[in-house]
Structure 1
Amino acid sequence: MSHLLRTSRLFAWFFFTGLSLAVITVSGFYLYLRPGLPPVEQLLDIKLQTPLRVYSKDNRLIAEFGEKRRTPITIEQIPTIQLQAFLAAEDARFYEHFGVDIKGLVRAAVELISTGSIQSGGSTITMQVAKNYFLSRDRTFIRKFNEILLALQIERELDKDKILELYLNKIYLGNRAYGIAAAAQVYYNKPVNELSLAQMAMLAGLPKAPSAYNPLANPQRALVRRNWILGRMKELGYITPDAYELAVNAPLTASYNAIESEVDADYVAEMARTEMVRRFGEDAYTDGYSVRLTVESDKQQAATKALRAGLEAYDQRHGYRGPIGQLSEDDLRGADLERLIKNYPRIESLIPAIVTAVDDPQGEARVYARDLGPAVLPFETMTWARRYKTEDLKGPTPDKPSDVVATGDVVYVKFQSPADPQTLESNRPGLPIVALSQLPRIEGALISLDAKTGAIQALAGGYSFSQSKYNRATQAKRQLGSTFKPFLYLTALENGMTPATIYNDAPIVVDTSELGAAWRPQNSSGQFGGPTRLREALYRSKNLVSIRLLRDLGIQTALDMLAQLKIPTDNMPKDLSLALGSGLLTPMELARAQAVIANGGYDVEPYLIEEITDIHGDTLYQAPETRLCDTDCAPPATPPVAETPVPEIGETGRAAAADAPPPPRIMHRLADERSVYILHSMMQDVIRRGTGRRARVLGRDDLAGKTGTTNEQKDTWFAGFNHDIATTVWVGFDQPAPLGRGEYGASTALPVWIDYMKVALQGRPPAFMPRPNGIVNVRINPETGERARPGEEGVFELFKAEQAPPLLSDDGNGNGGTGGGDLSRQLF
């Protein structure tokens, strides 16, 4: 008995000694590590890395920027059964333990001792939160001890639901998806609350090993993991046996679903991204900012579509340049066509395709199109494909498919429609129909502004952003051609001339030191019209009248007027070629200048960003109201700026939202409203009877504009507007080169403008500039510009009241009177 007592005392002594040593060791670790542990309060301030999202004015997604896909979500937004799926998979005793599951740790320790590795793990969800938010992924005892200490702290300071919410927003679930909301989108293209039980269990199986149990990479292992979780949910009483049977027998439905843009606006998205990085630095990609732009989705989509269609139409007018690749018969024999065609990229709606057979009697070719498979290429879609030789020369019209394509050709096609079995031979029903196409070499840009505010309503900077990041709308400085003339004519109206002023449309020779050799400019038609009123000279785009007009006004006077209108003059020549638009502007700069004319003569500054909000939905920036200076506004205290800057970024990286709305953006008048009103009328005639008359197809009377074509047709333009919207289109090669005979602003740029404005103006009432006081209508002789005699054929013209042609005397000799008197009696 005494031996047993001594043995018991010895064991007790060893036990208490070991326990004391363990307590001392743990306490030592705690005292050593505790000062280096971060405060738990940081969890509430940590910003989850959430991508930058860019939206249209009507809140449709344009783009997302950032490496990590994440959409933070509250626990109230997650179905209970989804929460239970994660608890069953990761930590069934989550609501029972105090942050550390002793049973789990002991089990993990036993596995480590017996097998040399941890099989089941011992981390609770709280410990995973500590690791994911604060610690590295190093598999060391020190890190594990830190994890335990942090978990204990977290449990003391946060409630269980908050911990679970933090976990479900942070975990990595594969395919760049961080958090449950992003994973539901990536794998099932659904919000969390629309997932089935089987889909919920599949997501719950991902945290253990996102690559090993990924339903896209390893569907069979993912299925086993899903069904195990469903079994655990049944054991824990979360689901009924019937629900379990339905779920385990459900097929795999996961697929890759990238967040897709709802608006085709890559150039606009890049402008927004650049601006956000300028303001917020690299944090723009991770801090969850949302940017709402001024572009409207329907107009933006119309702009992109119109520009691409216009460039394709020009490109096809000038012939087919041949296949983009060629495969031999050996390449095709027994080949994986889908693998071969993957070497050629899709570009917007252009799909690369391999010609697999050509059937002249049938009048078709067979192709294998990327992501589409076998398809039919009918000959009627190839008739445009005369061989390109030069911009002015094409080969003969093809008579059969083999004149255009050959077996092994790699070509671009566009999807048209599925085959119609009623109209096609019985051997090819169900095959889709495609049309021959090609990637245009020509480029262009479209920019549309709200004329009264400067808000960018639509912008397209080229055919394809994936092909060229160069934004021609904002970066391409090109010669203006005749789109410059309205500014010259406005200068004339501001300097005492009228639409009835007569100039001679006749040959002119300029021999000056500035231009070197003698310069003999011509009208684009090569013809001369003799004495011509300025109104007619503008809508007929008479070059020779413009040159004489500039010579009389003086080059410096014209440049001063440009500066008054805030049009850049750095790239404007100081010689008479200025009259023909030899100066350089970007499409954006020209659109902004046209908006000044459109809105009645007020300054305007284009802007793109309407609002910036942070991850919490708080507004960091709101675009200021634009106020035209003589319509209820006060003089600005400081010079007007394009945008009020975002408030300074604080230490946390967030800007403080202003309590009061930003001060308005004050825009002053830059030109006399009567001069601008008369110019509106003159530019409306460009569409009614001049070079822009194709725009009459829109059936509106409120449109005005100007075509433009530079020397050798290297740059072509159309800039048009009503009182609300100003839209400019440019078409040309990136490296200036002739577009070919017969290609002018009216044939290249104007069709794009028309297609866009059909959508932009749909359902909108006419918008005319209000007629200002001091404008009179006078009937004049169209040949002389003088007031018409009673009974004489004449036309009505607009004049400033003080410039109206004088009344004729009553002596019948045509001697002019003194004018003046009651203006109402002068209207004939």
Structure 2
Amino acid sequence: MRTYVGYITIFLLVPVLILFIFLSYQEWSLAQSPYHVLDERIPIESIELAQNSYMKAANGKVISEISTGGKRTYLKLEDIPLFLENLFIVTEDQKFYDHAGVDLSGISRALLINSQNKTIEQGGSTITQQLARNVYLSHDRTYNRKLSELIYAYQIERKKSKPEIMELYLNAIYFSNGAYGIEAASQYYFSKPTGELSKAELAFLAAIPNNPENYNPLKHFDATKKRQERLLKQMVAEGDLGQAEYEKLIKSTIKLDLSTPVDLYPDYVTYVHQELKNLVASSEGLDKSLQSPDVAIRKQAEAELDIKVEKLLNSGVTIHTALDTKLQTQSKTAVQSKIGVNDIEGALVVIQHHTHELVSLIGGKDYKKNSFNRAYQGYRQPGSAIKPLLDYAPYLEETDADINQLVSGASYCSNSYCPKNYSGDSYGMVTLRTAFAQSYNTPAIRIFEKTGVETSFKYLDAFDFKKVSKKDHHTSSAIGGFEYGMSPLELTNAYTSFNDGNYQPARAIIKVTDQEGKVLYKWKDRSKEIWNKSTVAKMRQLLHETTLSGTARKAYFPTDYVGGKTGTTNDVKDMWFVGLTANYTTGVWIGRDKPSNLQSIYSHTPHVLIWKDISQTAE
């Protein structure tokens, strides 16, 4: 009873409101135009509905649907069946194309129909009012909200054409279960686009928005079906549907075929979200503020960045990535099978070093989306894997030495720092190629000192290792003794410089486009030369011989080129292998999240075998 009294009250208030506006017009005119006041208080130039965004792999396959709170895919009116448009007009707002946002006769009709059915079948609101409610207002059943709805509807009618309003309405209304708009509903309930739905299916979906809870097909299928039949009967009564077709439609079987959101390859997708923030920050000039020592400036920049990224992801963009889905699947399998069921973890990075594209990334053995991603968030000591970048390449670059040059492999001790070779043995004079392939420590320290600490780090600084600082500028860094270390992604990135001497950070994101295909964001990285051709040739020879006769013999397989370097930290807490083939640079790390000894698996060289599996697949 209270509901009907409320409708009658609204019915009586509407003409009062109109009369009030009319009588006040002259007073408003003396001060400001009423339209000016409305435009100032209720600016409606563009109505932007949050939409799903999509992330795609290199082959064009959707790997992640991105939505913040609900699913929506926007459709143009010309792509929506006319039958559905007519159905909503007949059942919700028969004078849609005649009124200016409010229909007094519609309110009267709603009162009559609701009283006859003893339930709320129609709310009396026009399609424009419903749009206003869905976009700007709450769904509270209060008089204040209803009056606000009338004003917003009037303003929308002033600013938008009828086809525009209908298009927005069919994309805005809620179809229960997180589906907003007809296309999201079609995809969710029937796993096909709106254009492929039958009239019976369209009418079934049209039954939901009137009361998304009561007509939720997953909970109240029969109630939804009965309402579908009532809607179709209304179309018959209005002459928009023939009796024979009506009989056929209500007898049509409605079979739901629910779809689940696409959310694949969590390791890679999680990283892409982080890279997207970096891309937007770089493109929008926020980098400097985000790195400011001033906390207030930094927090303001972070808040601004979050708003920009959220707005972008709500606009229906497509994030095109370099992901190789086949390689990603193989990478996950290799990490899981070679490590086994235990508390040992692994991370893997594969970069196409000709294009500088990040084609595969594994953040953990059984990685869960948005959890700690070891591939780019895990910073660990690199062990001997740092030697090519900090010791050998800088030495060759500075001296142009021959790789057959002799260097002492004897014991080393300076200022109480007395590192040993891994075997514990002391060697005599050895060639650079032997010292490198066998990963002797003392020769590496000696050539590091000959080059000079600062000169050596000048080369390393070119790779932008995030946590390498002045505190690391000491002798022990020559064999991996860093304060924090580096991530697998950073180290693998740096090794790509041994392809041709140039460095450019690898990117997962190729471009971000809007719904029309316009490029909104794209990396504008420039390659920089680190090593000259002579140094590159020598380093590639050293890396290659390590796989032939050195510590990474298990990595070798017949192909155009194979080369790499192992790395093991003190007490075997970390195991690394980073290497190159003709087209790819791949890095593998194995360890525990809480560092501890890995001696039990060391002889099995899982890091090297994982690398080999992936490199063979990639090539």
Q: Out of 323, 334, 347, which is 1:296 matched to?
A: 323
Structure 1 residue 270: Cα displacement:
3.5
- What residue in structure 1 maps to residue 223 of structure 2? 221
Q: Out of 190, 211, 214, which is 1:212 matched to?
A: 214
**Aligned counterparts of 1:155 and 1:576: Cα–Cα separation in 2:** 74
> 1:299-355 CA distances to partner (integer Å, 9 max, x unpaired)?
xx5235424532443234xxxxxxxxxxxxxxxxxxxxxxxxxxxxxxxxxxxxxxx
Bigger relative contact order (CA 8 A; separation at least 6): 2
- What residue in structure 1 maps to residue 91 of structure 2? 89
- What residue in structure 2 maps to residue 728 of structure 1? 587
1:60-99 equivalences under 5 Å are 60-63=61-64, 64-95=66-97, 99=101
Structure 1 residue 101: Cα displacement:
3.7
**Aligned counterparts of 1:734 and 1:668: Cα–Cα separation in 2:** 34
Q: Out of 404, 420, 425, which is 1:521 matched to?
A: 420
Answer yes or no: is the 8 Å Cα contact 2:381–2:480 preserved in 1.
Answer: yes
**Aligned counterparts of 1:672 and 1:133: Cα–Cα separation in 2:** 60
Q: Out of 531, 554, 560, which is 1:701 matched to?
A: 560
Structure 1 residue 682: Cα displacement:
1.7
SS at match of 2:599: coil
- What residue in structure 1 maps to residue 29 of structure 2? none
Structure 1 residue 269: Cα displacement:
3.7
Relative to structure 1, is the Cα distance of residues 288 and 615 closer, same or farther in structure 2, using a 3 angstrom cutoff? farther
Q: Out of 590, 611, 615, which is 1:753 matched to?
A: 611
Relative to structure 1, is the Cα distance of residues 729 and 23 closer, same or farther in structure 2, using a 3 angstrom cutoff? closer
- What residue in structure 1 maps to residue 436 of structure 2? 538
- What residue in structure 1 maps to residue 269 of structure 2? 266
Q: Out of 490, 499, 513, which is 2:393 matched to?
A: 490
SS at match of 2:107: helix
Structure 1 residue 715: Cα displacement:
0.6
| Deviates most, 211-220 or 140-149 | 140-149
SS at match of 2:339: helix
SS at match of 2:600: coil
SS at match of 1:585: coil
1:137-216 equivalences under 5 Å are 137-141=139-143, 143-148=145-150, 150-151=152-153, 154-155=156-157, 158-216=160-218
1:305-704 equivalences under 5 Å are 305-307=330-332, 309-316=334-341, 440-452=342-354, 454-466=356-368, 469-487=371-389, 488-494=391-397, 495-506=399-410, 508=411, 510=413, 512-515=414-417, 519=418, 521-524=420-423, 531-563=429-461, 569-570=468-469, 573=472, 576-583=475-482, 584-598=485-499, 600-614=500-514, 617-624=517-524, 665-697=525-557, 699-704=558-563
**Aligned counterparts of 1:112 and 1:194: Cα–Cα separation in 2:** 33
- What residue in structure 2 maps to residue 56 of structure 1? 57
SS at match of 2:502: coil
Structure 1 residue 159: Cα displacement:
3.6
**Aligned counterparts of 2:237 and 2:113: Cα–Cα separation in 1:** 24
Structure 1 residue 29: Cα displacement:
4.3
1:9-48 equivalences under 5 Å are 26-29=18-21, 37-38=38-39, 43=44, 45-48=46-49
Structure 1 residue 602: Cα displacement:
1.9
Answer yes or no: is the 8 Å Cα contact 2:459–2:530 preserved in 1.
Answer: no
**Aligned counterparts of 2:602 and 2:261: Cα–Cα separation in 1:** 41
Structure 1 residue 288: Cα displacement:
1.0
**Aligned counterparts of 1:238 and 1:297: Cα–Cα separation in 2:** 51
Structure 1 residue 723: Cα displacement:
5.5
Please identify the structure whose Cα radius of gyration is greater: 1
Relative to structure 1, is the Cα distance of residues 86 and 760 closer, same or farther in structure 2, using a 3 angstrom cutoff? farther
State the identity as a percent: 29
Residue identity matched to 1:685? E
**Aligned counterparts of 2:265 and 2:23: Cα–Cα separation in 1:** 57
**Aligned counterparts of 1:135 and 1:458: Cα–Cα separation in 2:** 44
Relative to structure 1, is the Cα distance of residues 201 and 110 closer, same or farther in structure 2, using a 3 angstrom cutoff? closer
Structure 1 residue 261: Cα displacement:
2.6
Q: Out of 228, 232, 235, which is 2:234 matched to?
A: 232
**Aligned counterparts of 2:599 and 2:350: Cα–Cα separation in 1:** 27
Relative to structure 1, is the Cα distance of residues 603 and 93 closer, same or farther in structure 2, using a 3 angstrom cutoff? same
Answer yes or no: is the 8 Å Cα contact 1:51–1:67 preserved in 2.
Answer: no
**Aligned counterparts of 1:149 and 1:719: Cα–Cα separation in 2:** 65
SS at match of 1:444: strand
Residue identity matched to 1:711? N
1:765-780 equivalences under 5 Å are none
TM-score normalised by the chain length of structure 2: 0.80
Answer yes or no: is the 8 Å Cα contact 2:351–2:584 preserved in 1.
Answer: yes
Relative to structure 1, is the Cα distance of residues 315 and 537 closer, same or farther in structure 2, using a 3 angstrom cutoff? same
Answer yes or no: is the 8 Å Cα contact 2:92–2:122 preserved in 1.
Answer: no
**Aligned counterparts of 1:172 and 1:303: Cα–Cα separation in 2:** 37
Relative to structure 1, is the Cα distance of residues 37 and 132 closer, same or farther in structure 2, using a 3 angstrom cutoff? farther
Answer yes or no: is the 8 Å Cα contact 2:350–2:360 preserved in 1.
Answer: yes
**Aligned counterparts of 1:157 and 1:141: Cα–Cα separation in 2:** 25
SS at match of 1:738: coil
SS at match of 2:556: helix
Relative to structure 1, is the Cα distance of residues 617 and 48 closer, same or farther in structure 2, using a 3 angstrom cutoff? farther
SS at match of 1:45: coil
**Aligned counterparts of 2:140 and 2:517: Cα–Cα separation in 1:** 36
Structure 1 residue 111: Cα displacement:
7.5
Answer yes or no: is the 8 Å Cα contact 2:272–2:509 preserved in 1.
Answer: no
- What residue in structure 1 maps to residue 107 of structure 2? 105
Answer yes or no: is the 8 Å Cα contact 1:491–1:561 preserved in 2.
Answer: yes
TM-score normalised by the chain length of structure 1: 0.62
**Aligned counterparts of 1:204 and 1:115: Cα–Cα separation in 2:** 19
Residue identity matched to 2:613? D
| Deviates most, 86-95 or 717-726 | 86-95
**Aligned counterparts of 1:449 and 1:606: Cα–Cα separation in 2:** 7
Answer yes or no: is the 8 Å Cα contact 2:276–2:509 preserved in 1.
Answer: no
Residue identity matched to 1:281? D
**Aligned counterparts of 2:23 and 2:308: Cα–Cα separation in 1:** 36
**Aligned counterparts of 2:70 and 2:468: Cα–Cα separation in 1:** 45
> 1:414-454 CA distances to partner (integer Å, 9 max, x unpaired)?
xxxxxxxxxxxxxxxxxxxxxxxxxx422222223343554
Higher strand share: 1
Structure 1 residue 678: Cα displacement:
1.3
Structure 1 residue 246: Cα displacement:
4.1
**Aligned counterparts of 2:338 and 2:62: Cα–Cα separation in 1:** 29
Relative to structure 1, is the Cα distance of residues 229 and 280 closer, same or farther in structure 2, using a 3 angstrom cutoff? farther
Answer yes or no: is the 8 Å Cα contact 1:52–1:285 preserved in 2.
Answer: no
Relative to structure 1, is the Cα distance of residues 177 and 96 closer, same or farther in structure 2, using a 3 angstrom cutoff? same
Answer yes or no: is the 8 Å Cα contact 2:93–2:106 preserved in 1.
Answer: no
In structure 2, runs of 5+ residues without a counterpart are: 1-12, 26-33, 282-301
Structure 1 residue 50: Cα displacement:
2.3
Structure 1 residue 221: Cα displacement:
1.1
Structure 1 residue 677: Cα displacement:
1.3
Answer yes or no: is the 8 Å Cα contact 1:490–1:675 preserved in 2.
Answer: yes
Structure 1 residue 281: Cα displacement:
2.5
**Aligned counterparts of 2:468 and 2:153: Cα–Cα separation in 1:** 66
